[in-house]
Amino acid sequence: MVRKNLAPKYLKAETRKWFNSVLENYELESHHLKILILASEAWDRCQQAREEIKKNKKLTIEDRFGQVRSHPAIAIERDNKILFARLIRELGFDIERAGEGNRPPRLY
């Protein structure tokens, strides 16, 4: 079992608060803690990409050849949303509520 309030300092304040609430509500082993850290980092990266998109007010950019391309932050946001969801699923927080039969299979 891991100690409480171990959120890395580099996480955003809101993410650190969530991280610590998870530690308060679940008994995690040390390997689960590493997954939780990765999930927290993915969440922050996703939010950072979202802020970049909002700041630029554009979903597309023009490359040096004049071609319209998707803004790079779109892919960063998408990839980190997917990663966050997979890591949270791997931790299995909702197994008790949903039951093993209703839960998507784990990715190995």
27-63 pLDDT tens trace: 888 899 999 999 999 999 999 999 999 998 888 888 8
| pTM as predicted | 0.78
Residue count of the chain, please give it. 108
pLDDT for residue 100: 53
pLDDT for residue 21: 92
pLDDT for residue 26: 87
Nearest to 73 by CA among 59, 87, 92, 91: 59
What is the domain partition of the chain in residue ranges? 13-102
Q: How many CB atoms lie within 10 A of CB 2?
A: 14
Residue-wise pLDDT tens digits, 90-107: 998 776 654 555 555 555
